[in-house]
Amino acid sequence: MMTQNMQTESESYAEYLEEKYLPGRDLYLNKLFYPRVYRELGDGSVVDLGFGAGAFLRFLKGRDRACQGIDSNARFVEMAADFEVTLDDITKLDTLTAPIENAVTDNVLEHLSPEQIDAFFSVFSQKISKTGRLIAIVPDAKGYEKDPTHVTFVTRKFLEPLCAKYGLKVEKFFCYPFNSRAVGKVFYLNMQIFVITKAG
């Protein structure tokens, strides 16, 4: 049974995530959502931070894109053994040493406290390359309310000063599949997408 206190590192969360996926999810992701996200990536390899069930890693592999993933859930890491994945904490990123060219957090940040999100940006800002970018995907209002494991409602107002604090900036912002915050209040699948780069 789902509870708000369920930790994303737990096996029960892995089971919950697998069970909540709707029919047709893979088709939507691979034919519509991921191609849209992919267009925002720059050159170079991609790190999926908090890769979960590994859907975006599979999409990237299908495009012959160099990629790796980290997740704090040991079951997800075990399930993604065919990929270059490691067990790591997104607020530490101890296993990432090379400058990050592209990173994606897909429905990850909302599971963290404001303090944990701050810690993530603190360490990420030290590991991103000069031309690197982060594609941060978070649910809008209805999607945030729908999942009791969500902790922080992430918005542009929340992220912009946090990015500035660590020498980053929100270079681009849009919603998908409908580019409207108003839609996000009633349609739980509408996502907010932030393209974050080095400031200046």
Lowest pLDDT segment from 6-15, 23-32, 38-47, 105-114: 6-15
- Residue 114 structure tokens: 């404001």
What secondary structure letter does DSSP report for 33?
I
pLDDT of residue 1: 38
pLDDT of residue 170: 98
Q: Give the helix/strand (H/E) hosting 156.
A: helix 156-165
Domain 11-198: give its CATH superfamily.
Vaccinia Virus protein VP39 (3.40.50.150)
Stated pTM of the model = 0.89
Nearest Cα neighbor of 131 from 72, 186, 195, 190 is 195
- Residue 56 structure tokens: 């975006």
Residue 176 in contact with residue 191, Cβ under 8 Å?
Answer: yes
The predicted model gives 17-23 an average pLDDT of: 57
Helix (H, G, I), strand (E, B) or coil at 177: coil
Q: Domain residues of the chain, as ranges?
A: 11-198
- In angstroms, the CA 173 to CA 160 distance is 11
Structure confidence by residue, pLDDT tens digits, 108-135: 999 999 999 999 999 999 999 999 999 9
For residue 195, what are the CA distances in angstroms to 65, 87, 137, 151? 19, 25, 9, 22
Residue whose tokens read 């599971």: 111
- In angstroms, the CA 95 to CA 17 distance is 25
